[in-house]
Structure 1
Amino acid sequence: SKLIRLIKFVYRRRATCKGILRVNIELSLQLSPRSRRNFNMSFTDTRNNSAMYKRAEQLKRWEESDTNREPAEPKNLSSRKIKFSSGCVFLAACMSADRAEVLRLLDNGADIDTVNVDGLTALH
């Protein structure tokens, strides 16, 4: 791509003014016409040249990084679900007075003596 060629070019010619001018020209070609008018082409502007070089180096490191190679989507979405213990669900059902849920949880083996972090049981 154009970006990879530009990064390689900057890496090879980073110290010469001629190289910086070429980078300015190549970067200006990638800009929109409106932005191109405001683009400074002088190579006495060391801040601009330094910023362009640093950005090119940053893009080069990104292209080589492992993060860039990872897929954009998580691998396994089903493993990201939060699962609560039966005791925690039992206490929540008791606090919300959901009688059917409490009976179902007790039938499935929920511990009636479950305590929360403050040491309170469902009877409190």
Structure 2
Amino acid sequence: MSARRDSSSGWEDELDRLEAQIAADSRMLAAGQIPSDESGWQPPRLGPLPPDLAPRARQVQKDLSELGKQVTSAMRKNQEEQRRAGEERDKLRKIPPEKKIEPGPRYLDLEG
């Protein structure tokens, strides 16, 4: 029974960690930042998932999938904005510089 309890505790810790990472990444997306993909996540070696944690694990899996879609969308949007910014920059570079004219009087004193 002790091995089962250890496995359950390990899975609970892993699910807690994944839920915290999902929440942190969601906050980053809401702030307009794209989360790093350098999690280095490896499948846990905790043995079989206890049946009582299966609904929670399915929800984590669903949340991770949704987060992945949101990150992909944010990355596409970012790439499109960069492309448009590059186009605008290129247009601005094509505008010839204006000829500099020596400054003349700014007003005419009619009463002096």
Q: Which has the larger radius of gyration?
A: 1
TM-score relative to the length of structure 1:
0.28
TM-score with structure 2 length normalisation? 0.30
By relative contact order (CA 8 Å, sep 6+), the higher-ranking structure is 2
